[in-house]
Amino acid sequence: MNESKPGFTITSIALLVILFLQVPVIVVVLAAFSTTSYLTIPPQGLTLKWFAKVLSDPVYLDAIRISIILAMGSTVISLVLGVAAAYALFKRMLPGTEALTSFLMAPLIFPSVVIGVALLQYFSLIGWRGSFASLLLAHVVITVPYIVRSALASLSGIDMSVEEAARVLGANGFTAFRLVTLPLIKPGLVAGALFAFVTSMENVPVTIFIASAKQTTLPILIFSSVEMGVDPSIAAVSTLLIVATVFVLWLAERWTGFHRFI
């Protein structure tokens, strides 16, 4: 009986910590269903009108569209560049592998505001300030490290002799990588792509420096709306983001079992 108490205590503490961390999420979700025009907990009645307002508001819909296009574009580009870089680093095809790896991981270390200011000055110098291309490249800069890190972790966990065997049997380097190595590291790449997509979707510090007035993303719109006053529509769009994120994570887990690489 005494041996079970420590385990029970640790489990209870873990559950309390999880509950504490989820309280803000619970509050936001509950506030989204309130009938009042201001945030209140517990909600005064239940209604879906705030969700209908968000999904029928052209401002919100345009911000969602831009955010999705930006996140998908930066994730795809980061996958291509990140996988190529990770493979070259893992195979030590270039000198100074450790230095190059640290350089690629730098955006994870530097504050986002510093990256945003630096990119703003750079794009201003070359005349790209305010363009969608500059915004896309800025998001690629902050998402590539997630792909590189997950790809390196995946590559280190597989037997590279399988790829060598494919080359011995007549496949060229690209074919061996595409048909043998890439499927083996797919779960890790899915995990990295999800982190990259979410990072791009929710980024404010970098985006707010680079985006023009016509390129309002959803996080920037929410940030601006909170400054002017909080109403349940903000809670509603946040709830939609939470539900969409959980659904995508569930699908990815069912498809690849990517939890092994997190």
**pLDDT tens, 206-234?**
888 888 878 888 888 888 777 666 677 88
Alpha-carbon span 216 to 233, nearest angstrom: 17
Looking at the structure of the chain, the number of domains it has is 1
Query: pLDDT (tens digit, 9 = 90+) per residue, 61-76?
Result: 898 899 999 999 999 9
152 lies in a domain? yes
Alpha-carbon span 59 to 217, nearest angstrom: 10
Q: What's the pLDDT band for 142 if we cut at 50, 70, 90?
A: very high
Say what the pTM is: 0.82
* Domain limits for position 240: 50-261
Peptide bond preceding 42: is omega within 30 degrees of 0, i.e. cis?
yes
Given a contact cutoff of 8 angstroms between Cβ atoms, the answer to whether 102 and 164 are in contact is no
- Which DSSP category does 121 fall into? H
CA dihedral 241, 246, 248, 250 (to 10 degrees): -170
What is the pLDDT of the chain when averaged over all its residues? 82
Q: Output the domain CATH number for residue 67.
A: 1.10.3720.10
8 lies in a domain? no
35 lies in a domain? no
pLDDT for res 260: 56
Out of 44-53, 119-128, 135-144, 191-200, the most confident range is 135-144
Query: pLDDT (tens digit, 9 = 90+) per residue, 163-185?
Result: 788 887 777 778 888 888 888 88
First vs last C-alpha separation in the chain = 35
How many CB atoms within 10 Å of residue 85?
21
205 lies in a domain? yes
CA dihedral 188, 193, 195, 196 (to 10 degrees): 140
The fraction of the chain above a pLDDT of 70, given in percent, is 90
Given a contact cutoff of 8 angstroms between Cβ atoms, the answer to whether 245 and 67 are in contact is no
